[in-house]
Amino acid sequence: MDNINWVGRRVAVPGLGDLYSEACGPLYGPPVLLVMGAMNPGHLWPPGFVHALVQAGCRVLRYDHRDTGRSFVLPIDAPPYALDDLVDDAQRVLDAWGLPRVAVVGWSMGGYIAQCLAHKHPERVSHLVLLASSPDHRPYMAATLGRKVPADGLPGPAPGFLSGLLEAASRARGSPPEEVAVQGWAVFHGGSHPFPADLLREQTRAALASGHQPLAAMQHALAVDRAPPRTGWLPSLQVPTLVLHGADDPCLPLAHGRALADLISGARLTVLDMGHLLPEALAAPVGTQVADFIRAAEAV
One of 51, 189, 193, 276 is an active-site residue; which one? Answer: 276
Return d(Cα 246, Cα 272) in angstroms, integer: 5
Q: Which amino acid is at 91?
A: Q
Q: Is 181 helix (H, G, I), strand (E, B) or coil?
A: helix
DSSP 227: S
Q: Which residues pair with 10 in a beta bridge?
A: 20
One of 108, 126, 133, 134 is an active-site residue; which one? Answer: 108
Q: Is 276 a catalytic residue?
A: yes
Helix-helix angle 83-96:109-120, to 10 degrees: 70
Q: Is 295 helix (H, G, I), strand (E, B) or coil?
A: helix
Strand ranges inside the chain, DSSP E: 7-13, 17-24, 31-35, 59-63, 102-107, 125-131, 241-246, 268-272
Q: Is 126 a catalytic residue?
A: no
Return d(Cα 62, Cα 153) in angstroms, integer: 33
Return d(Cα 80, Cα 262) in angstroms, integer: 33
Q: Which residues pair with 9 in a beta bridge?
A: 21
**Residues forming the active site:** 108, 249, 276
